[in-house]
Chain A
Amino acid sequence: MTSVQTIKKRKHVRFRRQIPLHLMLAPCVALVLVYAYYPMIGVVIAFQRYNPRLGFFGSKWMGLENFRYLMNLPNTPSVIFNTVFISFMKIAAGLAVPIVYAVLLDLIHHSGLKRAIQTLLYIPYFMSWVILGGILLDLLSPSTGLLAELWRLFGAEPIFFLANPRLFPYVLVVTDIWKTAGYGTIIYLASITAIDPSLYEAAIVDGANRMKQVWHITLPGMAPIIVLMMTLSLGNVLNAGFEQVVTLYSPIVYSTGDIIDTFVYRIGLINNQFGVATAAGLFKSLISFVFIAMGYSLAYRFADYTVF
């Protein structure tokens, strides 16, 4: 009895002594509770006929009606397929290209040139999708674009990449790589520099050429970070890139380019069907949650990684 009281008292004293620390943290906690947790409660409107005047809790409940409505929309299956297809290709390319870049960059002898190339490679990462989109629209225009000019040079009919439903998903992947691959190399290059140089010296003594050194030393040395990036990228299976798609797509390519995020945006904020849009968003959040959790637990198992 007395020991419980002393523990309580001690806890109380400890809390009082730590008031400054709690004050430093309080604004962050408050912001996260309001702007991240309150909207989590707000997902209840996925099960309601939402009425702005009645709010999150006053609106009329209607069970799974919004979900049923979504499932009966003709383009729902294609939106889900597009999301998974585009994000899957982005994940694969987003892993492969930076790894190749990093390996090849590391093989450049001239250290100044190496650093210059590395720095230049991720310039596009610092530019917004609006600016890159503006550049792409101009470059890919079938009438005046640079690429069309090139096509004509070879006597071919220019292709309107951004209005071609068959090609649009690939345009998204290639332009995404353009923007992000250089940035992705940072972490792989760092993992290569951490490899023990004596391994290379020993390999050279043993007569291993460049390719053999890459295969037997560099890649195995990068393996832990590659595994880590693979597992963590699982969380992105439904992130096909909202800002990019919303910048580059148009109704002509909705059939292959419309993704869950753009779908939610149009239904919710353009058509004001808040309940239906929230239901679609909740569908995405729940599935993403499973994949993110899976990614982190695999990362923990295979790469000893913890979030914090």
Chain B
Amino acid sequence: MNTSVRAVTRRRHPMRMGASDRAFTICNTALMAAVTLLILYPLYYIVVASISDPSSVAGGDLLLFPPKWFFEGYATAFGYAPLLSGYRNSLVYTALGTAINLILTMPGAYALSRRDMGGRGAVMFVFTFTMFFSGGMIPLYLLLRGLRLTNTIWVMVLPGGVSVYNLIVVRTFFMSAISQELLDAARIDGSSDFGFFFKIALPLAKTIIAVMVVFYAVGHWNSYFNAIMYLNDRSKMPLQAVLRDLLILNTITTDMRVNPAEAAEKMKRADQLKYCVIILASLPVMVLYPFAQKFFTQGVMIGSLKG
């Protein structure tokens, strides 16, 4: 991969660019920059709206810069109890869920990467078949209810404990990164399978571990429909489910039986609370984004270049 990246920078160093090509390059760069701005503008708008005076935002004065600064939205957001409990729950589900994912995926994928393991083909078939066919939403729900997992923390982390796709990605990595010679050498030195996995295979797999952390953690942080299907208690809802109430179903806990002017003011405040909440909810992912996207790209590459 490194060599091809270098090749790209080496290639197309403008040998002799014709006038039409130069014009094309300029137009193309401008076009792609415009598309990017268009895609990001809604996100930018929310950021600025969260720190602007709510009346001017509702009045349509906001385009690029806050017409009037206003930070009280965040104060309201921090005081909004369901948001705080949602935040806490999401952190717990994400941390616990990702830990379980890794504890299951890494050893499982290593075992599957071993060409000498008996029954490997059969197990691979059993796993792969789940990518082709599933029992669907209702039987799974009834199973989880029958196991008394619904409305517990476990329903958020166990059913998705291992993703077959990720398992195959990690297996591919192990198969290409760890040679038979390495295993043979370790065996001569008296290493057991467990010893080899923990002392040699895992340390060599740092990149793929980071990729998996990103894949799984983003998945947990952003997942919300499981919570809505499987959890009942408001106190157990993750952030995304709280956000759904607030942003989509519009159930904000304000009393509207006041005079119209005050109600309108409250509406504007409520809108601003939404902007702030959106920012606060995306913050962890966005802070980690520069780090995460690198591993994310690598993961997509490993996932697609297998076979």
Contacts and interface: CB of A to CB of B under 8 A. Distances in A.
Interface of A: 11, 14-15, 18, 20-22, 24-25, 27-29, 31-43, 45, 50, 52, 55-56, 101, 104-105, 107-111, 113, 117, 119-124, 126-131, 133-139, 144, 146, 149, 178, 182-183, 186-187, 190, 193-194, 197, 200-201, 204, 209-211, 225, 242-243, 246-247, 261, 264-265, 268-269, 274, 277-278, 281-282, 284-285, 288-289, 292-293, 304-308
Given A108-B32, A193-B4, A308 B307 contact: yes
B168 A128 contact: no
Nearest to A17: B193
A83 to B, nearest CB: 14
B126 interface: yes
Nearest to A293: B132
Given A43-B136, A137-B247, A210-B24, A274 B142 contact: yes
A127 B140 CA distance: 26
A32 B244 contact: no
A297 B137 CA distance: 27
A277 B289 contact: no
A193 B7 contact: yes
Given A110-B29, A134-B247, A197-B8, 16 more contacts: A24-B107, A27-B107, A28-B108, A36-B130, A37-B126, A126-B292, A128-B224, A133-B248, A134-B243, A134-B278, A138-B46, A144-B58, A146-B45, A187-B301, A282-B136, A307-B131
A29 B126 contact: yes
B193 A278 contact: no
Contacts of A31: 104, 158, 161-162
Interface residues of B, number: 109
A24 B110 contact: yes
B104 A135 contact: no
Contacts of B139: 38-43, 45, 56, 278, 281
Contacts of B244: 130, 247
B200 interface: no
A146 B60 CA distance: 7
Contacts, number: 289
A47 to B, nearest CB: 12
B52 interface: no
A39 B140 contact: yes
B229 interface: yes
Contacts of A243: 224-225
Contact of A109 (B12, B160, B248): B12
A123 B138 contact: no
Contact of A107 (B18, B25, B131): B25
B128 interface: yes
Nearest to B121: A308
B225 A242 contact: yes
A56 B142 CA distance: 9
B4 A40 contact: no
